[in-house]
Amino acid sequence: MEQRAAIKFCFKLKKTPSETLELLQTAYGNECLSRSKVFEWYARFKAGRESLADDPREGRPSTSTTDANIERVRVAVASNPRATVEMLSDELHISEGSVHTILTGKLGKSKICAKFVPHFLTPEQKMCSLMSIVSINCLPEWSR
């Protein structure tokens, strides 16, 4: 939306689409709109368009990634942070794909799987550990 406003501003200053693209690339770097999008929006403003908003789209509206479902997923994850996508899907009766979209896209969550990493002990540490176990196991016999 911000870049569209910049394109409209450049159009009103009588900049060419190529000059507009150069200015956007300078200002936004890698985040700049593509050449075709810049030229497309420039042409829309040249044709008399005033709005920066997207055109209405046809198609079925989303029924699972609603604000209510996003809140339900947020509450479920807060109560059980170790819940899997499958568990949340079953509990909330929302598809796994929608739960995943809500978690990653809407709530900015990511699942970090912890692996068991073996802890390597030096021979001295192993001996110390063994001696501790032996002394703990032998204490009841010595106290008699």
Question: Percent of the chain at pLDDT above 70?
Answer: 86
pLDDT band of residue 118 (cuts 50, 70, 90) is very low
Residue 124 DSSP label: H
Higher per-residue confidence, 131 vs 68: 68
Q: pTM higher than 0.75, yes or no?
A: no
Q: What is the pLDDT of residue 96?
A: 93
Q: CB-based contacts of 39: which residues, under 8 Å, 6+ apart?
A: 17, 21
Q: Give the integer Cα–Cα distance in Å for 71 and 90.
A: 16
Q: What is the pLDDT of residue 109?
A: 80
- Return the ∠ at Cα 136 (arms to 133 and 137), rounded to 5°: 85
Mean pLDDT of the region 89-117: 80
Higher per-residue confidence, 59 vs 19: 19
Does 48 have pLDDT greater than 60?
yes
> What's the gap between Cα 11 and its chain centre?
35
Q: Residue 110 corresponds to which tokens in the numbers above?
A: 């990511």
Residue 62's identity, in one-letter code, is S
Q: Give the integer Cα–Cα distance in Å for 107 and 113.
A: 18
pLDDT band of residue 62 (cuts 50, 70, 90) is confident
Q: What is the pLDDT of residue 21?
A: 94
Mean pLDDT of the region 89-114: 84
